[in-house]
Amino acid sequence: MRHRAITTFLCLVLGVLLAPGAGYAAEAASTYVVRPGDTLTQIGLRYGVTAQTLASVNTLSDPSRLTPGQVLKIPRARAALGVPQAQPAASRATQPALLAVYWVRGGDTLYGIAARYGVTADALKEANGLWTDIIVPGQRLDIPARGSAAGLGRRYMPMPQPIPVPPVAFLRTVRTGSVGERIVGEAERYLGIRYVWGAASPRGMDCSGLVYLVFSRFVPSLRRVRSEDYYRMAKPVEAQAILPGDLVFFTTDSPGPSHVGIFIGEGKFIHASSTGSDVTISSLDDPHYGPGFLGVRRIVNPGN
Residues linked to residue 107 through DSSP beta bridges, in sequence order: none
Given 3, 11, 207, 288, which residue is catalytic?
207
In three-state form (DSSP H/G/I as H, E/B as E, the rest C), the secondary structure along the chain is CHHHHHHHHHHHHHHHHHCCCHHHHCCEEEEEECCCCCCHHHHHHHHCCCHHHHHHHCCCCCCCCCCCCCEEEEECHHHHCCCCCCCCHHHHHCCCCEEEEEECCCCCCHHHHHHHHCCCHHHHHHHCCCCCCCCCCCCEEEEECCCCHHHHHCCCCCCCCCCCCCHHHHCCCCCCCCHHHHHHHHHHCCCCCEECCCCEECCEECHHHHHHHHHCCCCCCCCCCCHHHHHHHCEEECHHHCCCCCEEEECCCCCCCCEEEEEEECCEEEEEECCCCEEEEEECCCCCCHHHEEEEEECCCCCC
Is 288 one of the catalytic residues?
A: no
Given 3, 11, 271, 288, which residue is catalytic?
271
Is 207 one of the catalytic residues?
A: yes
Catalytic positions: 207, 259, 271
